[in-house]
Structure formats: structure tokens, C-alpha cells
Chains A and B, each alone.
Chain A
Amino acid sequence: MNAHPSSPSPKVLTLVFAALLGLLALSAASSRVITGPWGSALGLFLAVVKTTLIFVFFMRLRYQTGLVRLFAVAGFFWLSLIGLLTFADYLTRG
């Protein structure tokens, strides 16, 4: 019996896991070298890359319909509104 067609193979999962560990090592090492705002920006960027890998492969968005993908990014859309409106206030206070 074959695997469900809508899921990644163990080989793909293992490769993604290896990439995640590599990115974790990069996050840890770079935080020791690059400090200040650029270090924080790099740390967040690497977190976004890791999350994207987890969403696409472990949470199988790569194998889902467009509608499910839309629901998956909807939460981040609303979160971006929270961030945008919050900082539109805090950054413009006198």
C-alpha cells in the first residue's frame, strides 16, 4: 500500500529536519558574531525561514489546496495589521 498522495516521504521529512538543524546552528552562531539591530533582524529572518519550512513540509501546505493555504496565511495577515496599527501609534507619539 502506498502512502497518502498528499504527504511528504520520510526522506523529504528527514532532509527538511536536517535543514532546520542547520538553520538553528546558524541562528545560534550568528547571534554571537552579529549583535545589535542587524543581529536581531537576522535572527528573526532565520525564524521566518524555519517556520516556512515547517509550514510547507511538516504541516504539508505544499500538498494542500489553495483554499487551505489561504486559511493558513490569514492569521499572519491579521497579525500584520496588529503590528502595523500598533506601531503607527507608538512610532508617531510626540
Chain B
Amino acid sequence: MKPPSSIDASPYTDATQRSVAQHLGMWTFLATEILFFGGLFACYAIYRHTYPEAFAAGSARMDFWIGTLNTGVLLTSSLFMAFADHAVKLGRRETLRRCLAAVWLLGVIFLGLKFYEYHQKFVEHLVPGAGFHPDGGAAPPEQLFFVLYFAMTGLHALHMMIGLGVITWLFVRASRGTLTADRPAPVEMTGLYWHFVDCVWVFLYPLLYLVR
């Protein structure tokens, strides 16, 4: 009888089946994420439908250029994430490390610009609550736009921070050489998550910055 340590505990017949199972699991998680953000998008749709003028007025106070630049920053980070995925499958450790570092840096730039925007909103009295009084007192519906702005971009930024944490972990593993071509799942799955969070922003951009 074989000792327990030699038993192959893998439930998969081959690497392809394992890969499909990993992708199904990740896409199931992403479906729950679509619905998680979906609740906020539905809330946005209801209030925008009810108060169209207030939403246009709120959106006009957004920083168009920072919003546009940040969208470009995220799309570029996604390109490097896709390159990282390519590199791990070729077993190119140094390329993988560089790509992960680029994704991390672009993510930090995005959050830096985002928090600069939050600061600006605070200075301009656009943070919902007792201190909300742009131009010495705007109509309450415009405050709803800013509630949703902070809730939606805040939840998105939280996802970015989690992503940056995971990418840091991947970078350490890549540096130690424990990310190999025969086991690309950690990079692949992190990539799916990162691209998904990018897609959420792709929708936030026209809904928050481009309403006219």
C-alpha cells in the first residue's frame, strides 16, 4: 500500500480540464460582482431617470480631464496585465515581473488621481452631508448624484486596492520564481479580476463624467 503522501489528490484528468474549472469558478465569482455593482447601477438609473437635470448639473462639476486620463491609465494597466499573462505562459520571469510592476504602478497612479479628485470635492463642499453646499446651497437632488458618485467610485477604488494587494503578492512570487508556465492560474485569475474592475470603470466614466 502506498503511503498517503504519494496519492495524487488532484480531481482533474488533465491540465485543460483544470483550466476550464478554474475559469468557470472565476467567472462565477465575477457574475456575483456584476450583480454587486449592478445594484448601484440600478440605483443610479432610477435617480437619474427621476432627476435628469440634477444629474447633468452634478456631472458638469466633475473633472472631465482627470476622468478621461484615468480611463486611459486603467486601459493601459489592463494591457500590461494581459502581457503578464502572456509572459507567465512562456516562463519569462523577468518580463512577468516588469509587467506586474507596470500594472501596480498604473493602479497607484489611478488611485492617486482619484483621491486628488476626492480632495477637490471636499474643498468645493461637494461631499454629501451637512457640509454639502456648492454655490451656497444646491437643490437636494444634486446631492444624490454625489452620494452615488462616492459610493460607486469608492466601491471601485476598494476593488482596485484589493487588486493591488494581490498583484504585490504575485510580484513577490514571480521574484521567487514560484510562478511557472505549467501553473499559470494565479496570474490568469488575477488578470480576469483586474480586467473586470477595469470594465466597471469603463461604465462609470460616461455615467459620472460625460452627462451633459
Contacts and interface: CB of A to CB of B under 8 A. Distances in A.
Interface of A: 1, 3-4, 6-10, 13-14, 17, 20-21, 24, 27-28, 31-32, 35-36, 39-40, 43-44, 46-47, 50-51, 54-55, 57-59, 64-65, 67-68, 71-72, 74-76, 78-79, 82-83, 86-87, 90
Taking chain A's interface residues, is the majority helix, strand, or loop, or is none over half, making it mixed?
helix
B27 A68 contact: yes
B212 A82 contact: no
B79 A14 contact: yes
B142 interface: no
Contacts of A72: 27, 30-31
Contacts of B100: none
A28 B68 contact: yes
Nearest to B43: A86
Interface residues of B, number: 53
A79 B38 contact: yes
Contact of B34 (A21, A54, A76, A90): A76
Nearest to A65: B20
Contacts of A64: 20, 23
A27 B31 contact: no
A72 B196 CA distance: 11
A46 B206 CA distance: 9
Interface in B15-44: 19-20, 23-24, 27-28, 30-35, 38-39, 41-42
A47 B202 contact: yes
A67 B199 contact: no
Interface in B165-212: 181, 184, 191-192, 195-196, 198-199, 202-203, 205-207, 209-212
Given A7-B85, A7-B89, A90-B46, A44 B206 contact: yes
Nearest to A2: B90
Nearest to B184: A4
Given A1-B91, A39-B212, A68-B27, A10 B205 contact: no
8 nearest A-B pairs in the assembled complex, by CB-CB distance: A43-B206, A75-B31, A75-B34, A31-B210, A71-B27, A35-B212, A4-B89, A17-B79
B42 A86 contact: yes
A71 B206 contact: no
Contacts of B195: 54-55, 58-59
Interface stretch (B70-78, B109-117, B121-129): B70-78
